[in-house]
Structures are given as structure tokens and as C-alpha cells.
Structure 1
Amino acid sequence: MTQKFMYGTDSNQFGELSLPEGPAEKKFPVVVSIHGGFWKDKYDHSDFTDLDKQLVANGLATWNIEYRRVGPSGGGYPRTFEDVTNAVNYLTTLAKDHPLDLDRVVVIGHSAGGHLALWAASRYQHQADELGQPVQINFTGVVSMAGVTDLEAMWVDQQPLPMMKDIVPNFMGALPAEAPDRYRLASPIDLVPIKTKTVLVHGTSDDKVPVELSQSYYQKAQAAGDSVQLVELPGVGHFDLIDGASPAWGAVKEAVNRLLDKE
């Protein structure tokens, strides 16, 4: 069963809640899924629709969130971040009428969604700031799927590519040198330790988000004392991770199961 719920008044402020079948008294662990697409309007939550069906078939509830993105929907810094927080926190409202186990919630995200998933995991019991309120859900774990762990490093990597070089500044509203504090607030690598079990899944043949970003995050998070695992997948590309028939997606499901102790 899948239902759409609005967590805000904008047409992009919604999520799709999917529940497995089960006894009425049973509460289900939850996977929050955050799609990627370099934060652009042309990509949307449908990237996770079929993947979520597999998670639901495995006995998990899913909350597939949409958010305002760069383009006509008016997203970018700080609105995208505010939306992610509000969407996650809306789980506390949904749990009043739906069998959700909010003590067992994992957040996953692909590419730009991996960036937002890691960022959201850092916001539990956080001070309110220009990016909004704290996240109210204490995540059991986070899985970054080829996530953009370092915004400035992603910007540097994209400079030789004319069609890509403005993606990060367009999202952040400034170049790194123009707003270093803004980048520090938004870049996961600058937010460790996040004190949440973390799994980074990344293909070594990724030509969109280099695997070195996950490697650098892993090293810094581990040094900071976080519980973090890096799963490098030889020969795997960027979009293999969201191919429901791919062994790469299987590695993501395994990570989710481990975090929720479902193996």
C-alpha cells in the first residue's frame, strides 16, 4: 500500500509512504529514501519507486521524499535542506496513524541524495541555524549510495566539464570561496562525527561522483570516531546502484538489512 502525504504547502513538498502487509499490531522499520540528480528539477523521487517496492517486500516501510530542487521548484540553499528536515520530521506525524517503528529508521540516498542523507543524519539534536530546525529522528543508520560527501571537492572535480562546472554553485548559491561558512554547514565531510552508523557504497567506475569522495569521507569519519564502513564495488558505475536488478543495488539492500539487524 502506497499513499502520498504533503509535509508542506508547495507541490514538491511531499512523500510517498509504502507499507508491507502484516498484522495490525506490528510496527515496521522504516527506510527514508532520498533521490539524487545533482539537486536538479529534472530528476525526481521516481528513481526510488521500484527500489522501494523491493524493500517493502522485505518487510520494511519506506518513506520516499520529494523536495524543492534547483530550477522552477525554487530549491537550492537553504530551501532544499529545510525540505529534507521537514520531510523526515513528518514521520512523527505519520506514526500517529500508521504502524511505523521510529526506533528503527535508516536513511538512504543516491548521489545528491546521498549528500542529503548524510547531512540529515548529522542534524539530530542539532542547533537550529540558517539551514533550519534539527532532525527529530535518531537514525539507526545511513547508507550513502555514491554520495556527494564533499561539495567543494565535487565542484573542483566538475570544473573541466563545461556542462557540469556550475552545478554545485547553482545549488549552493555561491562559489566555495565566496561562502565558505555556507559550504561547511552543508558539506557532510565537515560534519563528522555524526554519531550514526554509516555505510558508504560506491562503484570504482563511477564517472559522475568519483569514488575518492567516499574514500576521503571514510577516512575522516573513522578518524573522528564514527562507526563507518566503505563498500567499494569494482567496475560498478554511478547508475548501477539504482538499478533494481543490479548486484550493486543488492549491496545497498544488504547494508540496510545489517543496519536494521534483519539478516
Structure 2
Amino acid sequence: MTHLEDGLAHRPFTAAAAALLAAVLIVSGCSETESPATPTTVAATPVATRLQRHGVVPIPLAYPTADSADPRQNFGDLYLPTPPGGRAVPLIVLYHGGGWRYGAGGLSGMDPLAQVLVAHGLAVFNVEYRRLGSGGGWPTTLADARDAGDFAATLRDRYAVLAGGETIAVGHSAGGQLAVWASQHQRRPPHAVISIAGPLDMTYAALHGDRFVRQFLGGLPAAVPAHYALADPSVNPHLSSPVIVLAGTKDRVVPISVARHYVEDTAGPGQPTMIEVPGASHTSLITPGKIGFAQVVGTIERVAHGMAVGAVTISRRG
């Protein structure tokens, strides 16, 4: 049993448990009072190298983790647009999907969305993380997502173009779950979170045939209740940031019923905003030119610039 598992064994995931988890995950990382280290650049990825030829120059930055980081996986590509005169640039933190599994997906899967967002004047930190089959899985992948989010928050202090701008976490599929989960555990939560086709009610998804959730968490809820207590956003309804849930009506990977169930589970103050996209599939939402992609980009832009989306109005905070 790991130190993280030990802290959660036979214990409901209450606010007290969340506080304990936050302390445990920081054990070997930076404390909140420590000055953040200078960003460490890493070798450019093949995708980043190809983008450079088209005038887009992402900066690959390693982020620190609560354990021994893997520089091949614990990094993100930072895209900085040409800054508009006199206006802070919002930062979009992207978490890719792929069922939390190595070899499925990867940060390159979010690259088309990143390019479009940068072209629209937004900064992007496209995150890679450890997954099942590459040193990740429960709970390491969760910790990586949290650590990447904490690191992304410090970028606003290090790059003048980002100073004073909003930070918005956006995740697709498994990355949607990671984005919401990370926002609940970061020292500096994002201003808002947008889940695109994310399995946010993991208990419901696992019980209705989602093998990726079961593989990631190690079984069904009855077999590993502590794993679901930690990872499932619907089990911990406290939202540190407003959450917007985008889901396609034609999604066959994460059916729209999962998103609806999550929104119902978290009813009350701070309830997530649900946006159903007619005709959109699991991947069309993040594929340029496909059904729902323009709506995804438009939603991200509105949220990033503090505009109301449904019942959600994003308030600025430090």
C-alpha cells in the first residue's frame, strides 16, 4: 500500500480527506511557501518541431511532480501568441484523453485544438502525463494532473504576457476527468474548467460498461471503493472552480448519459453547466471542421474572456 493509499483506506472522501490528500501529494514537491523554480525546458517533441516550420514555436517545459518526475512524460508545450496591445492573455491548460493509457492518445491529440486557440489569441499549455503502461495509473496519473495544473498557474507569474489573465483548464475524454479532479486539489485552482466528453461520473460509467475507467481504477467500485472515492469527481461534489460540461449526443465512447448523471449528482450551489452538442461524436468535438469543434472553441473563448456561458459567469481572481 502506498502512502497515498494508506491515507485513503477505509475512509470516505470528505473535505477532511481532501485536505489530507493535498498535504500528502506535496510531500516531496514544493511547499506552498517556496519560491517556484525557474521553468526547465526539455527537448522539443516531433509535433512541436513540425509546428515550428509553420511559424508556431511551442516551448516544451518540464513540470515538477510529488515524486521522481519522468522528463519524457512530465512536461507540457507552452504556446504564446502575439500579445494584443495592453491586454493580458488567458492561459488554457489542455489535458489530452486516451483512457489514461500509454499508447492511446497523447498530447499531440490536442495539438489541432491548441493551434486554433493560439490563432485566436489565447496562450496554451498542452500537458503530457504518465499513464497506465508508462509508470502512471492510479494514483500517479492524478497527481501528475494536479502537479501540471499547479505548475501552469505559476506561468502567469513568469511570463509578462500572461500576468493578470485567466487560467482555464480544458480536458478531453479522460483528460476531462483529470482537469476537473486537478482543479479540486490545486493550490491555485483555475478560473474555470471545461470538460469535453469526459467521464465525470466514474462510478456510473464503470457500472455501465466503461472498461477504461475500470482498468484505470483497478476494478469495479465495490472492489476498490477507495480508488473511486479519490478519483471520481461525482463523489466529491465540491467544486473549486466553475465547471462546464460539453458532451455530444452521438458519443459512443463516453455516452452523454454519463455527463447528465454527473450534473445531476452535483446539483446545488455551483452546479456544473451542461452543454449538449447535437450530432457530435467523441472525437468530432476536438477535430477541426467536424461537428461541435467550433462550439468547443467558442465556449473556451467566451470563458477565457470572462463572458457568461449558460448559468456560469467567470469571475476574475488572482
The answer to whether the aligner puts 1:118 opposite 2:118 as a matched pair is no
Is 1:109 matched up with 2:171? yes
Q: Is the 8 A contact 1:201 1:231 kept in 2?
A: yes
State yes or no: 1:34 paired with 2:95.
yes
1:67-146 alignment to 2 at 5 Å?
67-71=129-133, 73-98=134-159, 99-101=161-163, 103-123=165-185, 135-146=186-197
Query: Partners of 2:214 and 2:272 in 1: how far apart?
Result: 28
Alpha-carbon distance, 1:51 to partner: 0.8
Matched, 1:153 2:204: yes
Distance 1:233 1:23, change over 3 A: closer
User: Match of 2:175, as an amino acid?
Assistant: G
What is the Cα deviation at residue 174 of structure 1? Answer: 3.9
In 2, are the aligned partners of 1:102 and 1:137 still within 8 Å (CA)?
no
Within 2, Cα distance between the matches of 1:108 and 1:92?
Answer: 14
TM-score by length of 2: 0.72
Match of 2:41 in 1: none
Q: Give unpaired runs (5+ residues) of structure 2.
A: 1-56, 308-318
Q: Tell me which structure has the larger Cα radius of gyration.
A: 2
Matches for 1:9-20 after TM superposition, within 5 Å: 9-10=69-70, 11-20=72-81
Structure 1 residues 10-31: Cα deviation after superposition (integer angstroms, max 9, x where no partner): 0210100000012697531100
**What secondary structure, in the 3-state scheme, does the structure 2 residue paired with 1:76 have?**
coil
Aligned pair in 2 of structure 1 residues 219, 92: CA closer, same or farther (>3 Å)? Answer: closer
Within 2, Cα distance between the matches of 1:102 and 1:46?
28
Q: CA deviation at 1:220?
A: 2.5
Question: 2:168 corresponds to which letter in structure 1?
Answer: V
Q: CA RMSD in A?
A: 2.0
Is contact 1:143–1:252 with CA below 8 Å preserved after alignment?
A: no
Counterpart residue number, 1:239: 283
Q: TM-score, normalised by structure 1?
A: 0.86
Match of 2:113 in 1: 51
Calculate percent identity across the aligned residue pairs: 33
Number of aligned pairs? 244
Structure 1 residue 137: Cα displacement: 2.5
Contact 1:32 1:105 in 2 (8 A): yes
Query: Equivalent residue for 1:4?
Result: 60
Flag the structure with more relative contact order, 1 or 2, with Cα contacts below 8 A and sequence separation at least 6. 1
Tell me the SS of whatever aligns to 1:90. helix
* Secondary structure, counterpart of 1:15 in structure 2: strand
Partner of 2:292: 248
Q: How far 1:5 moved relative to its partner? A: 0.7
Task: Establish whether residue 178 from structure 1 lines up as the match of residue 223 from structure 2.
Answer: yes
Native 8 Å contact 1:48 1:64 kept in 2: yes
TM-aligned CA distance change 1:100 to 1:156, over 3 Å: same
One-letter code aligned to 2:303: L
**In the alignment, is residue 204 of structure 1 matched against residue 249 of structure 2?**
yes
Alignment-mate amino acid for residue 81 of structure 2: P
Q: Counterparts in 2 of 1:214-233, with a 5 A limit? A: 214-221=259-266, 223-233=267-277
Q: Please name the residue that 2:127 is paired with.
A: 65
Say if 1:215 and 1:23 are closer, same or farther in 2 by CA, change over 3 A. closer
